[in-house]
Structure 1
Amino acid sequence: MGGGDRRADRGRALATLPGVPGRSAGRLPGALPGAAGQAGAAVPLPVARRRRAHRHRRAGERRPRPRPSPAARGRGRAVRSGEGVHADRGGAERAQRGVAPGVRRRRIRTGGRGHDAAQDGRVDGVSALSGGPAPVVTPVFDLVGIGFGPSNLALAIALAEEGSPALSTVFLEKQEAFGWHRGMLIEGTTMQVSFLKDLVTMRNPASPYSFVSYLHAKGRLADFINQKSMYPTRVEFHDYLEWVAARFERQVRYGTEVVTIRPVEADGEIRELDIVVQSGDLTTYRARNVVLAAGLRPVLPAGVVAGERVWHSQELMCRLRDLPEQRPHRFVVVGAGQSAAEVVEHLHSRFPAAQVCAVFSRYGFSPADDSPFANGVFDPAAVDRFYDAPHDVKRMIMDYHANTNYSVVDLGLLHDLYGRAYREKVTGVERLRVMNLSRAVGLETRSDGVNVHVESLATGEVEALRADVVVYATGYRPVDPLDLLGAAGQLCLRDERGDLLVGRDHRVRTGPETSCGIYLQGATEHTHGLTSTLLSTTAVRAGEIVDSLASAVLEPAR
């Protein structure tokens, strides 16, 4: 985990869909007034969109039907999640544009009306989750963002910067405060991506939310320049993220975990979604659009359970607080990527009496390809080329350039570790051991430590290593959007391989009866390529989603 270019390691009648609540009659305030950065605030959208809408405001004039844009292109057969029914071509095209029958595009309103079923703070009926009274329901938001890491933070900035009119917006984050890979904020480690690939610069170089603006505000701009480095430390970049997040704090609900998302059906159409959250009591946020940016989930090998002596690298720095540094600890680190190498280096340096054993199946740590030509795979233009490519070409690109991102190590760190091991051989005091061509095949947790069974892939012999702690630096996996979407996942279309169909604008394709938008930030590597979970195109992607929201907000035709 280095926080940069290489950080990654699913139509029938709606009444048959489980968990689809009906919508009560009446209307309630929709977009809420307020300033950007305030919860429920009206967040501005691109001026260009407003101008286009203005041309069609005259009484009785209907806006022209939009033609499919490049952002709506997609490949594969449209299959309704959970049904396996192929959609017809015309329906798929309308679905990927998000255009439902009987609806027309409209100018996004800064205010408006929704449904007054929630004006008393309740919805009719009984909660399917609690079995008791229905959860509190909020007014209807134009946009609810799920997760508030770098991706949705960049989206909040783009919404605030891109002009007028506005969307009422709120972000839901299960952490109690902003934090991004806190467990790997190792002192001295640097980002593996240029500071220019911050939250905004690739989209708006003049933004007041850039890393350069942060340095200026902190009084360190000249000092940073004097370093002659494009790569800030990870600790400093995290401080930058916190600095930006603090400016949007009133727009975020921290300590709020999403339980499920349910479609809201009315008159045969689904125009809104209910996001049920746990924050003390169950609460429902009703939204016309949702953006899922739930981040990454740590991966442990099958059968391995994290505990007091078994850690994933994501919790390293938090766990180490309780270990005395002078005790002769024994550590085993499993993994061959950047995170594993950083953990090995940090443990070896921080605990001068410790023994550290690195276990991985390769012959040695492999260097990352960060050459200029290869780095082009992280450019915004590369996303267009990847998206339009056939599936076999997509697979080829991923295979060719896996060494830019997966199970690879910065060359400087690689040389540092080798130098340490060699110097210890010279002195005869070997604290750093490398078990290559090996894999951990068993684990026994004892009261006084852990027994790690390591098998040699070359000989088949198994050696039992005694350790105080074993750290698995075994990577991450994007959170499955369907785990969060719940019943709303049945609205999503999939291709013949079972993958979600996602438009170039990051909007999940849905059936023609669905006009609300479901957007993904992350979990789109199969459609958008290597940058799906990385910082490289975060700023540009946020702008693309804002553009899509500006052009795709719908209302029923009158």
Structure 2
Amino acid sequence: MTSQLEDAPKTHDGSSCNPTLDVVGIGYGPSNLGLAIALHEHNSTHAAEITAAFVESKPRFGWHPGMLIPGTTMQISFLKDLALQRNATSEFTFLNYLHEMGRLHHFVNYQTFFPTRIEFHKYLEWAENKVDADVRYGTVATRVHDQGDHFRIDTDHDGHLSTLKARNIVLAGGLTAKLPQGVHPSSRQFHNHNLLFDLEKLPSTDHNRFVVVGAGQSAAEVASYLHKTYPRAEVHAVFGKYGYSPSDDSPYANRIFDPGAVDDYYNSPVELRKKLLDYHRGTNYSAVDLPLIEELYSIEYAERVDNSRRLFVHGASGVLTADDTNDGVRVTIEHRPTGQKQEFDVDAVVYATGFTPMDLPSILGPLHNDNSSGDGDDARVGRDYQLYTATQTVGKVYLQGGTEDTHGLTSSLLSNIAIRSGEIVDSIARRITPPPTTEPGFSSRAHFQLS
């Protein structure tokens, strides 16, 4: 099982007596789980072990558990798992998971590249247990300090303060739910990422009407789920487009997610990068799988025929106001081309309005580099995902996510975890491997080769 490190003993000045690790990963979702696997496989084939530990604010491993809607499927192939694209013989592949679960031939007969999200989550849990990394769950990394020859990471576990020491840091703090400006979360207004849990906590059990804000895959899935789960309730989907846009998962467009596309993107001029993002935005942003679009339209049309409307899609529209009342939310929806307004009393408003990346200034403090342009020589991130800090440091900080401006669309997606994690491990290994002896009688005592 995954271990949870004991709190380290303290010296007289309150500092931790933990040994200095080669790597501390901050955050332990799929990205740093992939890193733990890459480290495990590196250590199994190299004499010099890379030591590592991870801190994760959640009490246990989980990947958007509040959005594990029954029947929803992955939007990427199972072949883009945590290991296969880097090491096809890895014991941590999705296929090996199926084999160990006794479901491999059943999955083959299923004839799909896209497992359900629930099954993929079970695969991630299996991999987390199998790799057996050192993880401090329920622990928040509050600040990183440069100590010269290492970093000090301040942590908080239920008010108990401690520290870790590391020569390198890999930040994979994940994404934070983003609500529209002026919206304050409540028991009846919430982001979709905790949908299943927040629905369980709704004050009323007699649900009559919901509003879903957003035009992407998650928004469409939420609208479909609410319509099926509450058979007497109306569901009002609201977004600025006229309708849901289909995601582009065609073979040529998917080349934007190939590992080689990261090299192309990183080495391109800034203006070309922007064009490539615009060209292929429909592969990832505000895009919905076509079968789900067709299913929702079919439902809406059938209800029109039967004159029994429950699903309403408000295109070219927006929510003007959403105010909590004693027993619900008073919502005003505006049709933007005409200015026509409709007012509803609803049980809840679900905002499928995206995420914001990790707050780097908060955790890095003075180390944070304010330059975020990604322009040429001023790029804030190296090709090996090394973050260029405001001051030069002996150790290095790496990013898993938040590098879309320099590395392209795969920055925060599952598609490239296996390759990206391997590249980060290779970069760290090059830095901590002693240089080879080149002169007779020369014996190096250096533990690190700095780059």
Which residue in 2 is equivalent to 1:273?
151
Equivalent residues of 2:431, 2:448 under 8 A apart? no
Which residue in 2 is equivalent to 1:293?
172
Deviation at 1:483, TM superposition (A): 2.4
Deviation at 1:496, TM superposition (A): 7.8
My pick for the range that moved more, 512-521 or 276-285, is 512-521
Deviations 1:14-58 (A, max 9, x none): xxxxxxxxxxxxxxxxxxxxxx97678xxxxxxxxxxxxxxxxxx
- Which residue identity lines up with residue 414 of structure 1 in the other structure? I
User: Structure 1 pair 387/276, CA: closer, same or farther in 2 (3 Å)?
Assistant: same
Equivalent residues of 2:367, 2:390 under 8 A apart? no
- Which residue identity lines up with residue 51 of structure 2 in the other structure? S
Deviation at 1:460, TM superposition (A): 1.8
CA distance in 2, matches of 1:220, 1:501: 44
The structure having more radius of gyration, on CA atoms, is 1
Equivalent residues of 1:172, 1:254 under 8 A apart? yes
Deviations 1:504-558 (A, max 9, x none): 111112478421010000000010000001011100001000110011236489x
Which residue in 2 is equivalent to 1:92?
none
Equivalent residues of 1:156, 1:248 under 8 A apart? yes
Which residue in 2 is equivalent to 1:365?
244
CA distance in 2, matches of 1:211, 1:307: 38
Which residue in 1 is equivalent to 2:339?
460
User: Structure 1 pair 324/399, CA: closer, same or farther in 2 (3 Å)?
Assistant: same
Equivalent residues of 1:326, 1:351 under 8 A apart? no
Q: Does 1:122 align with 2:5?
A: no
SS of 2:293's partner is helix
Which residue in 1 is equivalent to 2:439?
none
Which residue in 1 is equivalent to 2:41?
161
User: Structure 1 pair 494/407, CA: closer, same or farther in 2 (3 Å)?
Assistant: closer
My pick for the range that moved more, 322-331 or 516-525, is 322-331
Match of 1:319 among 198, 203, 207: 198
Alignment of 1:187-206 (within 5 A): 187-206=70-89
Equivalent residues of 1:338, 1:408 under 8 A apart? yes
Equivalent residues of 1:500, 1:508 under 8 A apart? no
CA distance in 1, matches of 2:9, 2:237: 59
CA distance in 2, matches of 1:120, 1:345: 52
- Which residue identity lines up with residue 184 of structure 1 in the other structure? M
User: Structure 1 pair 349/493, CA: closer, same or farther in 2 (3 Å)?
Assistant: closer
Deviations 1:164-197 (A, max 9, x none): 2112210100100000011110000000000000
Deviations 1:335-374 (A, max 9, x none): 1110110000000001111110011110111111111000
Deviation at 1:326, TM superposition (A): 7.7
User: Could you say what the CA RMSD is over the residues aligned between the two structures, in angstroms?
Assistant: 2.4
Deviation at 1:482, TM superposition (A): 2.5
Alignment of 1:2-401 (within 5 A): 121-122=10-11, 124=13, 134=14, 136-162=16-42, 163-164=45-46, 165-249=48-132, 251-264=134-147, 270-280=148-158, 281-322=160-201, 327-401=206-280
Q: Does 1:407 align with 2:286?
A: yes
User: Structure 1 pair 123/360, CA: closer, same or farther in 2 (3 Å)?
Assistant: farther
- Which residue identity lines up with residue 160 of structure 1 in the other structure? H
Deviation at 1:249, TM superposition (A): 4.2
Deviation at 1:476, TM superposition (A): 1.2
SS of 1:290's partner is strand
Deviations 1:134-188 (A, max 9, x none): 4545221111000010110011001111222112210100100000011110000
Q: Report percent identity of matched pairs.
A: 46
- Flag structure 1 segments of 5+ consecutive residues without an equivalent: 1-35, 41-118, 125-133, 265-269
Which residue in 2 is equivalent to 1:111?
none
Equivalent residues of 2:149, 2:167 under 8 A apart? yes
User: Structure 1 pair 466/166, CA: closer, same or farther in 2 (3 Å)?
Assistant: same
Which residue in 1 is equivalent to 2:313?
434
Equivalent residues of 1:263, 1:487 under 8 A apart? no
User: Structure 1 pair 522/513, CA: closer, same or farther in 2 (3 Å)?
Assistant: closer
Equivalent residues of 1:506, 1:545 under 8 A apart? yes
User: Structure 1 pair 528/304, CA: closer, same or farther in 2 (3 Å)?
Assistant: same
Equivalent residues of 2:400, 2:411 under 8 A apart? yes
Q: Does 1:544 align with 2:423?
A: yes
Equivalent residues of 1:330, 1:356 under 8 A apart? yes
CA distance in 2, matches of 1:305, 1:511: 34
SS of 2:20's partner is strand
Which residue in 1 is equivalent to 2:435?
none
Equivalent residues of 1:378, 1:536 under 8 A apart? yes
Equivalent residues of 2:9, 2:16 under 8 A apart? no
CA distance in 2, matches of 1:298, 1:341: 17
CA distance in 1, matches of 2:423, 2:203: 49
CA distance in 1, matches of 2:229, 2:207: 11
User: Structure 1 pair 439/545, CA: closer, same or farther in 2 (3 Å)?
Assistant: same
SS of 1:369's partner is coil
* Number of residue pairs matched by the alignment: 430
Deviation at 1:454, TM superposition (A): 1.4
CA distance in 2, matches of 1:284, 1:461: 57
SS of 2:342's partner is strand
Deviation at 1:443, TM superposition (A): 1.4
SS of 1:289's partner is strand
- Flag structure 2 segments of 5+ consecutive residues without an equivalent: 433-446
Deviation at 1:441, TM superposition (A): 1.7
Deviation at 1:381, TM superposition (A): 0.4
Q: Larger RCO: Structure 1 or Structure 2 (Cα < 8 Å, ≥ 6 residues apart)?
A: 1
User: Structure 1 pair 496/432, CA: closer, same or farther in 2 (3 Å)?
Assistant: closer
Equivalent residues of 2:73, 2:117 under 8 A apart? yes
User: Structure 1 pair 505/364, CA: closer, same or farther in 2 (3 Å)?
Assistant: same
SS of 1:166's partner is coil
Q: Does 1:523 align with 2:406?
A: no
User: Structure 1 pair 169/460, CA: closer, same or farther in 2 (3 Å)?
Assistant: same
Deviation at 1:247, TM superposition (A): 2.3
Equivalent residues of 1:38, 1:248 under 8 A apart? no
CA distance in 2, matches of 1:238, 1:549: 29
- Which residue identity lines up with residue 372 of structure 1 in the other structure? P
SS of 1:454's partner is strand
CA distance in 2, matches of 1:188, 1:395: 35
- Which residue identity lines up with residue 278 of structure 1 in the other structure? D
Deviations 1:215-234 (A, max 9, x none): 01111001111100011000
- Which residue identity lines up with residue 292 of structure 2 in the other structure? L
- Which residue identity lines up with residue 277 of structure 1 in the other structure? T
Q: TM-score, normalised by structure 2?
A: 0.90
